Amino acid sequence: MRAWAGLLLIAALAGCTRAQYRRSADAQTYSILEERQVSPAFSIGRTLLEPAPYSRLADPTSPDFPPKPPDDPAAALFMARPGGMKGAHNWERDGTIDFIEPPGWETVLSPDEKGTVQLDQERAVEVALLNSREYQTELENIYLAALSLTLNRFEFQLQWFLTNGTTYRHFGAGGVASGETDTLESLSQFGFNRNLAAGGQLLADFANTLVYQYEGPDQRRFSSNFLVSLIQPLLRGAWRKVRLEGLTQAERNVLYAVRDFARFRKRFWVNVAVDNGRNSGYLDLLLALQTLRNQQANLRRQEETYRLYNELFLGGRASAVELDQFFQSLQG
């Protein structure tokens, strides 16, 4: 039982798992993004980084133990022999997959038997939001800006530490009787340090030292020390204007990123409706479709008129010149 307890203690002291770090980063980052939406004009809606399960960008595999996706054969050579050296051999430790886009994502669009998807303006925007790589990239950029801020904030938070170092030393006799010494020393430290806004640093350290010396009767020594230090520079890196510059800029960068993303969302909606640069928006396609229908209807009317002129020509009521002119306009 004690052995199991020892193993659990070692596992706990080994640090957080990948999943815990990911959840912690998400919680802090999403909280920051929520703080930055200080005005309805800059609301950014859904901030969840992971695409919806029915998006073509979704990843159905585990985010903590992702399998290896299919690779470009030419690029795979550099994983096997980077710089001519033998590469890592555990790339497939968590398995492999043979797809990039999740299988069956198109079925969510509910296409008909011909593969056609019926869209209106609202549905077109919804589909674009779910499947646009450009939109996902912009969302990832604001997440990274907020994630970078968490590191700047962490720099000014209490940073706890717990360390232990155990050493064993043996000194030979060197030809002298009873000259051998064996010493076991264990040093444990517990405390915290904190960077201050004015440029200073506060450190509190509680240390225990335990020494066993084996030479004749066992000898042991135990000592404890408690250290508190406060360091305040007066020139380089001193005072709030200098020390808080990085944090201030990081805070502002997230605000700018959220505003840029809010403007991007508005442009994105407009581009889905009317893409002036490429004429590929929803309304552009409707206009092109209606233009095609109008041209087809106009062509049918001209063909009917040509047949009428041909009948008039055969009846002697229209000249060959008039018939030829109308035929040329029909061909044009």
Q: How do residues 108-146 score in pLDDT, each as one tens digit?
A: 888 888 888 888 888 888 888 889 999 999 999 999 999
Q: What is the mean pLDDT of residues 213-234?
A: 81
pLDDT grade for 173, boundaries at 50, 70 and 90: low
For residue 206, is pLDDT > 80?
yes
Give the pLDDT confidence score for residue 5 in this predicted structure.
Answer: 47
Q: Is residue 216 over pLDDT 80?
A: no
Predicted local confidence at residue 3, as pLDDT = 44
Residue 28 reports pLDDT greater than 80: yes
Would the pLDDT of 181 be above 60?
Answer: yes
- How confident is the model over 206-225, as a mean pLDDT? 79
For the chain, give the mean pLDDT. Answer: 84
- Report pLDDT for 140: 94
Average pLDDT over residues 276-282: 72
Residue 204's pLDDT band, with cuts at 50, 70 and 90, is very high
pLDDT value of position 218: 63
The number of residues in the chain equals: 332
The domains of the chain are located at 10-110+121-154, 159-243, 282-331
Count of other CB atoms within 10 angstroms of residue 284: 15
Is the model's pLDDT at 102 over the cut of 90? no
* Contact residues for 237 (Cβ-Cβ < 8 A; gap 6+): 199, 243
Q: Which amino acid is at 254?
A: V
**Mean pLDDT, residues 3-31:** 71
Q: Does the pLDDT at position 4 exceed 50?
A: no
pLDDT tens for 303-314 read 888 888 788 878
Q: What is the pLDDT of residue 252?
A: 94
Q: Using CA atoms, how far apart are residues 186 and 208, in angstroms rounded to an integer?
A: 8
User: What pLDDT is recorded for position 178?
Assistant: 57
**Per-residue pLDDT, 323:** 75
Instruction: Give the mean model confidence (pLDDT) for residues 46-68.
Output: 88
Identify the residue with better confidence: 177 or 283.
283
Q: Of the segments 30-44, 111-125, 151-165, which one has the largest average pLDDT value?
A: 151-165
Q: How far apart are CA 202 and CA 210, in angstroms?
A: 26
Residue 251: the pLDDT is 93
The mean per-residue pLDDT over the stretch 242-270 comes to 92
Highest mean pLDDT among 48-52, 102-106, 149-153, 302-306 belongs to 149-153
Least confident of 105-119, 130-144, 207-221, 277-291: 207-221
- Asked whether residue 176 carries a pLDDT value surpassing 60, the answer given is no
